Amino acid sequence: GAVVSQHPSWVICKSGTSVKIECRSLDFQATTMFWYRQFPKQSLMLMATSNEGSKATYEQGVEKDKFLINHASLTLSTLTVTSAHPEDSSFYICSAIGGPYNEQFFGPGTRLTVL
Amino acid sequence: EDKVVQSPLSLVVHEGDTVTLNCSYEVTNFRSLLWYKQEKKAPTFLFMLTSSGIEKKSGRLSSILDKKELFSILNITATQTGDSAIYLCAVEVSGTYKYIFGTGTRLKVLA
């Protein structure tokens, strides 16, 4: 089946630094990718829709200047958490649309801890 | 506002028990309903339902959708400790590929 990877798997950073998370579709091209955020014991919350070659579409309440999304190619989307703070600590999961039935395939997630 | 609600939020059972997880939705442009199992990392796909009344089955798991009453159930029979996980229900919005996830049900199966 289709594979989506994320890098890094986990990251610990100091408050005030920026962190970049990559999401790659390994064996298919994805014109659309999604970024989700999950707090402990909570469900996935959609943050934004990432479209190749155009600006991301952010969900209500998600700061686009805080969470920069770049979908530079058909196989790569990046999420940059700028000036990270402890409240940004979370599990970030991407997904990509692909395959003959336009299914959604999830990446393994990135756990971000901001000290 | 589109929303997906799951119940119960949390459930503890013993091995061998049967459980039923519920998912109700209010989504303007429904395309499909999906069930996922989430353990430590990203969700893994279980079922996709698009038509009412047709049961999907995989081993001890089964699911059915009622598009008139806007809900779905996920049944797990003869539960095992390996079934312990968060079960997520998501509704795909037609024309967008967007998924709206429910609150999740945390299932714990005791030996």
**pLDDT value at B76 more than 90:** yes
pLDDT, tens digit, 9 for 90 and up, residues A20-30: 999 999 988 88
Contact yes or no for B98 and A46 at CB 8 A? yes
**pLDDT value at A1 more than 70:** no
Q: How many CB atoms lie within 10 A of CB A29?
A: 12
Residue of A nearest to B103 (CA): A43
Answer whether the bond into residue A108 is a cis peptide, omega within 30°: no
- Over pLDDT 70: what percentage of chain A? 98
**A109 CB within 8 Å of a chain B CB:** yes
pLDDT, tens digit, 9 for 90 and up, residues A41-84: 788 999 999 988 888 999 999 999 999 999 989 999 999 999 99
**pLDDT value at B69 more than 70:** yes
Mean pLDDT of B40-49: 89
**pLDDT value at A2 more than 80:** no
Tokens of A58: 């952010």
Under a CB-based contact definition with an 8 Å cutoff, are residues A34 and A45 in contact? no
Residue type at B67 in one-letter notation: K
Give the E-state strand segments of B1-111 in sequence order: 3-7, 10-14, 19-26, 30-38, 44-49, 56-58, 61-66, 71-76, 85-93, 99-101, 105-110
Under a CB-based contact definition with an 8 Å cutoff, are residues B65 and B4 in contact? no
pLDDT at A102: 78
CB nearest B42 (choices: A43, A97, A106):
A106
Contact yes or no for A44 and B101 at CB 8 A? yes
Q: How many CB atoms lie within 10 A of CB B99?
A: 24
Q: Using a CB-CB distance cutoff of 8 angstroms, which residues of chain B are in contact with residue A42?
A: 103-104
Which has more confidence, B2 or B24? B24
Strand order in the sheet with A76-81: A4-7, A19-25, A76-81, A67-73
Residue type at A79 in one-letter notation: L
